[in-house]
Amino acid sequence: MQAMFGISLDHNRLLRYAGLFTYLSLGTPLLTGWADKRLDALQRPPLLIAIWAVSYVIFGIIYWVLTQDMGSRRNWGLKLAGLAVMTVAALLVGWASQSGLTALFMVVMAVVMPQLLPLWVGIAMLALQHLLLSGMFWGLSGYPLGKAILQASLYLGMSVLAFVVAVVAGQQAEERERQRQLNSELRATRALLAESSRIAERMRISRELHDLVGHHLTALSLNLEVASHLAQAPAADHVRKAQATAKQLLTDVREVVSELRQDAELDLTQALNTLIEGVPSLRVHLSMPPRFTVEDPQRAQVLLRWVQEVLTNTVRHAHARNLWLRIERTADGELCLDARDDGRGAPQLEPGNGLIGMRERLAEVGGRLEIPHPQPQGFRLLAWLPLEPEVGLSTAMPRPTSTGPA
């Protein structure tokens, strides 16, 4: 979802805030005095209100911490431990209040579990939670075993619904992102092909002018040279004028051919702008020369794939709101690609297939990739791509230093 009330939200943030709203709603009994009346009616000690309140607060704190990393399943063992503590806190709330509030807290967890845990771990966690809920109904609330299982199964249906909705939302968001990536790649490739076709057509025209028109004008000049020696006045004056005109035309044709051949570089401006359009929940700040050209098609393709991989990694893993991309030519004639985001960083980086593939593509054309580390806040990538001296990038910048390659 691109924007709601002026705020950019994706499905992970929507699920997080929906769960938070439900959690806050479940704290209403502690604010209205319903808890005191409930315990008085059950003839339970007032101390249970404190247990109820502390368990409620613990649940909310852990929920807020865990859901800051929504959409990522890294360190899911720690997240599983956090969900286990939340489950205990939810059970204590239900035990203290002798109510079904526990099941509602489990619905809140079911909304975010698919975004924090692997699917089958989340399903197992969901089943274990409601098994414990059955035990609470049976052992602590005094329900018969059959009735306890039936009551827990009713609440299980609510949690399963929330869990499945979250799974479907995640899958649809991933599919939309894949389609967006494919669409942007196709559009960028189409722009690159159009640019290649333009260059090929210009080269064809330049060859035709050089081989055909140039040849005929040269022959015409030679014939007029001979005619100028044989013609008598006043015809000789007209022959010499025609000869001068033919030579001027030949010079003009050669200049046009030279201009056509000099403009044989791929203009990547449109292709790069196409790639960064419509990236969900991410502002991309692209800095490059107004007309960015590369002569070698292979290097142009490597550059486009590098930018695409940076965008993909930032959306999937960084949880950033801004991405700064800078493309400039260094003082020693290389192309510097600098990517930096304001995401969560990578204190302990383990390069995945994307970064490994990026490094391999650059190495194929003599380039290199460097990743400064550690990066506790934000993530930065630096790449250098050698280019021919005549590539039309006028700006220059000194080569930045790196703390070391990844």
pLDDT value at 393 more than 50: no
* Sequence-distant (≥ 6) Cβ neighbours of residue 393 within 8 angstroms: 289, 292, 293, 328, 329, 335, 387
DSSP string, 243-262: HHHHHHHHHHHHHHHHHHHH
Cα–Cα separations (whole angstroms), residue 395 to 381, 383, 399: 20, 17, 13
Q: 262: how many CB neighbours lie within 10 A of its CB?
A: 12
pLDDT value at 402 more than 50: no
Considering only residues 12 and 224, tell me which one the structure prediction assigns the higher pLDDT.
12
Tens-digit pLDDT profile for residues 68-78: 877 776 778 88
Token couple for 396: 């220059």
Burial class (CB in 10 A: 0-12, 13-18, 19+), 107: buried
pLDDT of residue 13: 81
Considering only residues 165 and 278, tell me which one the structure prediction assigns the higher pLDDT.
165
Q: 323: how many CB neighbours lie within 10 A of its CB?
A: 24
pLDDT of residue 405: 35
Q: Which of 59-68, 206-215, 252-261, 384-393 has the lowest mean pLDDT?
A: 384-393
Contact yes or no for 319/343 (Cβ under 8 A): yes
Tens-digit pLDDT profile for residues 201-228: 666 666 666 666 666 667 777 777 777 6
pTM, to two decimals: 0.60
Considering only residues 308 and 278, tell me which one the structure prediction assigns the higher pLDDT.
308
Q: Which of 37-41, 147-151, 392-396 has the lowest mean pLDDT?
A: 392-396
Tens-digit pLDDT profile for residues 195-204: 666 666 666 6
Q: From CA 96, how far away is CA 108, in angstroms rounded? A: 19
Q: 245: how many CB neighbours lie within 10 A of its CB?
A: 14
pLDDT of residue 2: 44
Tens-digit pLDDT profile for residues 79-93: 899 999 999 999 998
pLDDT value at 395 more than 50: no
pLDDT of residue 133: 86
pLDDT value at 388 more than 60: no
pLDDT of residue 211: 63
Considering only residues 200 and 310, tell me which one the structure prediction assigns the higher pLDDT.
310
Considering only residues 396 and 304, tell me which one the structure prediction assigns the higher pLDDT.
304
pLDDT value at 349 more than 70: no
Tens-digit pLDDT profile for residues 126-149: 999 888 888 887 876 667 888 888
Considering only residues 58 and 377, tell me which one the structure prediction assigns the higher pLDDT.
58
pLDDT band at 163 (very low <50, low <70, confident <90, very high): very high
Mean pLDDT computed over every residue of the chain: 76
pLDDT of residue 214: 65
> Locate tokens 């000690």: which residue?
45
Q: From CA 165, how far away is CA 128, in angstroms rounded? A: 20
pLDDT of residue 356: 80
* Sequence-distant (≥ 6) Cβ neighbours of residue 165 within 8 angstroms: 111
